[in-house]
Amino acid sequence: MNSPYFSGFFSGLKPDTRLTVSEWADQKRMLPAKATKEAGRWRTSRTPYLKEIMDCLSPSSPVEQVVFMKGAKVGGTECGNNWLGYVIDRTIYQGKAGT
């Protein structure tokens, strides 16, 4: 059966990979040269204090509310960008691409 309905139904039955936000960022996030001194692939190991915050933003986390109190220039915006990228990639994009 080559019906798009069946293929969509069966692709929805596939188990969701349980990537955390930090794992997603390590695998897929690229930092542009215009925005940072260290352009290239995002490495959570460079900002280990953000790992727990990003992982608490993951759907698999039991945490219901995240409060992030921080100083200036400690990666808060990039942490938020990683979370937004994760949400876009894992929900909107994958739903349309069928992957």
Hey, CA dihedral for 51, 71, 79, 18, is it positive or negative?
positive
Task: Name the average pLDDT for the chain.
Answer: 85
Locate the domains of the chain by residue range: 24-97
Specify whether the CB–CB gap between 58 and 20 falls below 8 A. Answer: yes
Of residues 67 and 93, more confidence is placed in 67
- How many Å apart are CA 76 and CA 96, to the nearest integer? 29
Write the DSSP string, 13-79: TSPPP---HHHHHHHH-EE-TTT-SS-EE--GGGSGGGHHHHHHTSTT-----------TTSSHHHH
- Only one residue has tokens 């990979």, namely 17
Task: Say what the pLDDT of residue 81 is.
Answer: 94
The model's pLDDT over 19-43, given as tens digits with 9 standing for 90+, comes to 999 999 999 999 998 878 888 999 9
Model pTM score? 0.74
